[in-house]
Structure 1
């Protein structure tokens, strides 16, 4: 009996121990599950709090969103690339404009998707490579530069993707519009020929558009701020690349040589009154605000046929490498006096003989492409019979004058050049119209 009881107790005891162990395990598991749930819940709230501002929706474009992270990343990039100060006031000033640009970008990419236009990683890489080359950077240095300055490289790549895709859309539209009418080319050539000897201007622009149906106060404030930033020393091209909405933004705002009849009458009047390297105040036009930079002016050459060759008269005022500042200043003063006094190449030649300056004389019929970069830059747009400003060289101070200018190209090549110009203008008009149509038909909601 005792043995049975002991055995029973032993079994019971063992069973009791098993039951107790199971209860403990159940409690542990239950507590663990509750703890994990609480941790996950707390992490959810933590990530929600951390990401609240970055994932906040600032705009809806059709069925896609633009997050606050997208906006802040683009603002970071624009402030960095334009040289504007990165502070709360500046970010607030440009927020509206940058958001507007992101909306346009979203519309471009949506349109590309609809038309089954895909941009490959290779295309994006090649585009960035061209930008690097234009800015004297080694291949791959753009990404390094952005990473070094804590920029999101995806922001820049997305912008590049939109540019490439939109360019393809516009080229397709241009192709569908048909080949250029020969009469249009002939008319443009007649204008160029008839304009020979009249003023034309080398101009760069910054263009900020506005919607005619609403207040343009924010655009006005932005363009005034950009104007002041350029006056304070930020390079014009840097600001143009970051903010201008014209196709010329990709070329640092450069429009090339333009005639007065190619401009809005109000803009033409302002440009004609600017001096070389002078910046205009912001100008309001029917489609937006412009800031204009007059880089140079000249009398039109007419229809240029081919590569330019020039004959140049030069005067070199010699200086040693270790010349004293007083000696350099004396030669510079003399050079400025010569530059102001000579009226033509005969004057230059006579002055050389009178002063007896060595290493001077005439360079006959040389192609601009064969000249030293500094001389080419000084003479390519210099009016015939006008002395250049003094140029500092290794040998001394140089004064140049173009005595004649000839061109080497047949008319067929000139016609292709004119056709290319007309196509570029048509592409810009198509681009503006298409984007405007997309905005009008899209559902766009912005949030503060």
Structure 2
């Protein structure tokens, strides 16, 4: 897909939308672009430019409108490709779903849906234009869910790897970041996409709202949440972005940053240190009591008995049954215990013990014990959030490839 030049003449074409003469109305319906023979009219483009300016707080000057037009048109073209793909797959978005999405957006702006749509009208924006944008987003989310999301599986080992890395990074800086990502799918798009990224960066520095521009223009999966990446470590970002963020302070904006796939614009929201990590284990034990004056032979006999019992267990469930048969009141569940609070000999026995595996018999206070770890958890580390982040990264990458393939296969004719 190649975006033809000539958009500098757009303002004159857009200006006629507000005129009442039939010739002007006909001109407003003229094609700004064809996407696989589907028309994007000049009026479609004008309405969307107004929507972006209203949502982002950008001034309505002719210069700003001209700057916004190319990137807005690019976004509309992508939406049409996404809607066409949804139609090919037989995927639909119901009016009730669109109504619910508009109600949520209105609520975020402390308005009722009717009030929100009235604001659009007062700014010269047809509500149907906004509904069409919401429809496109919902359809693309459904396409991604059907074609990509269900194929993404994050293994426990992948989560464990991230947990280990975080534990090794204890005390390092974590970042709260927002992003706008613009892909470069072919060499002839480089100059155009960079120019778009530069314009967006300048608009952000002039006071435009980051989350609004992210929703309108970002091609990352985070566009739906205003570009919010949440809390992360620099190592989870492309090196070029991580190096830039390392020099930034909260509130600062940087970009465009060229990476392998395209250009990033980022805003550093906040920073914090990775908190000290406290590991908690859920323990069960087989406990064989010994008198305080037990002879060495008694201790060895109890140790042999403990080894025999340990050989009968292979899970926490069987551990409970064998512990009960041991006949000691102290056998059974110890519940959740902080690893750091355990005596050194017990901590050493269970620190690296695999789950559902009996420990070697160890001497404890007035007895011999076999321990088993049933669960592990780390305070300060949210495994579910890690799994979600890994899935989002894979989803984002695959969605970008999907969109790249749609663009490459499309016939797009810019008529301006």
How high is the TM-score relative to the length of structure 2? 0.66
Judged with a 3 Å threshold, the aligned counterparts in structure 2 of structure 1 residues 203 and 181 are, in CA distance, closer, same or farther, namely: same
Residue of structure 1 in register with 2:134 after alignment: 160
- Bigger shift: 178-187 or 57-66? 178-187
Q: CA deviation at 1:414?
A: 3.9
Residue of structure 1 in register with 2:393 after alignment: 425
Deviations 1:247-292 (A, max 9, x none): 3233232211121211111111111111222222432223222222
Q: Distance in 1 between matches of 2:88 and 2:98?
A: 20
Q: 2:176 aligned with 1:194, yes or no?
A: no
Q: Distance in 1 between matches of 2:200 and 2:268?
A: 17
Q: Distance in 1 between matches of 2:278 and 2:58?
A: 40
Q: Distance in 1 between matches of 2:167 and 2:57?
A: 42
Residue of structure 2 in register with 1:134 after alignment: 108
Residue of structure 2 in register with 1:106 after alignment: 80
Equivalent residue of 1:282, what SS?
strand
Q: How does 1:6-45 map to 2 (within 5 A)?
A: none
Residue of structure 2 in register with 1:8 after alignment: none
Q: CA deviation at 1:304?
A: 8.8
Q: CA deviation at 1:111?
A: 0.9
Q: 2:114 aligned with 1:146, yes or no?
A: no
Matched residue pairs, number?
Answer: 301
Q: CA deviation at 1:175?
A: 4.4
Q: 2:407 aligned with 1:439, yes or no?
A: yes
Q: Distance in 2 between matches of 1:431 and 1:424?
A: 10
Equivalent residue of 2:39, what SS?
strand
Q: Distance in 2 between matches of 1:95 and 1:284?
A: 23
Q: CA deviation at 1:305?
A: 9.0
- Bigger shift: 263-272 or 183-192? 183-192
Judged with a 3 Å threshold, the aligned counterparts in structure 2 of structure 1 residues 144 and 87 are, in CA distance, closer, same or farther, namely: same
Counterpart selection for 2:238 from 264, 280, 290: 264
Q: How does 1:1-80 map to 2 (within 5 A)?
A: 49-80=23-54
Judged with a 3 Å threshold, the aligned counterparts in structure 2 of structure 1 residues 411 and 127 are, in CA distance, closer, same or farther, namely: farther
Does the 8 Å contact 2:184/2:190 carry over to 1? yes
Q: Distance in 1 between matches of 2:176 and 2:407?
A: 33
Counterpart selection for 1:184 from 132, 137, 158: 158
Q: How does 1:198-277 map to 2 (within 5 A)?
A: 198-277=172-251
Residue of structure 2 in register with 1:170 after alignment: 144
Q: Distance in 1 between matches of 2:183 and 2:47?
A: 23
Judged with a 3 Å threshold, the aligned counterparts in structure 2 of structure 1 residues 237 and 305 are, in CA distance, closer, same or farther, namely: farther
How high is the TM-score relative to the length of structure 1? 0.62
Residue of structure 2 in register with 1:291 after alignment: 265
Q: CA deviation at 1:202?
A: 1.3
Does the 8 Å contact 1:171/1:427 carry over to 2? no
Q: Runs of 5+ in structure 1 lacking a partner?
A: 1-45, 307-408
Q: Distance in 2 between matches of 1:237 and 1:303?
A: 32
Q: Runs of 5+ in structure 2 lacking a partner?
A: 1-19, 281-375
Does the 8 Å contact 2:153/2:391 carry over to 1? no
Q: Distance in 2 between matches of 1:63 and 1:280?
A: 38
Q: CA deviation at 1:100?
A: 1.1
Judged with a 3 Å threshold, the aligned counterparts in structure 2 of structure 1 residues 93 and 174 are, in CA distance, closer, same or farther, namely: same
Equivalent residue of 2:394, what SS?
helix
Residue of structure 1 in register with 2:328 after alignment: none
Deviations 1:184-203 (A, max 9, x none): 22223322333222222111
Does the 8 Å contact 1:202/1:255 carry over to 2? yes
Equivalent residue of 1:229, what SS?
helix
Q: Distance in 2 between matches of 1:87 and 1:188?
A: 48
Does the 8 Å contact 1:202/1:256 carry over to 2? yes
Q: Distance in 2 between matches of 1:62 and 1:281?
A: 33
Equivalent residue of 1:180, what SS?
coil
Runs (4+) off by over 6 Å: 302-306
Residue of structure 1 in register with 2:90 after alignment: 116
Q: CA deviation at 1:438?
A: 0.8
Q: Distance in 1 between matches of 2:391 and 2:209?
A: 29
Judged with a 3 Å threshold, the aligned counterparts in structure 2 of structure 1 residues 168 and 302 are, in CA distance, closer, same or farther, namely: farther
Q: Distance in 2 between matches of 1:176 and 1:230?
A: 35
Q: Distance in 2 between matches of 1:289 and 1:302?
A: 35
Q: CA deviation at 1:176?
A: 4.1
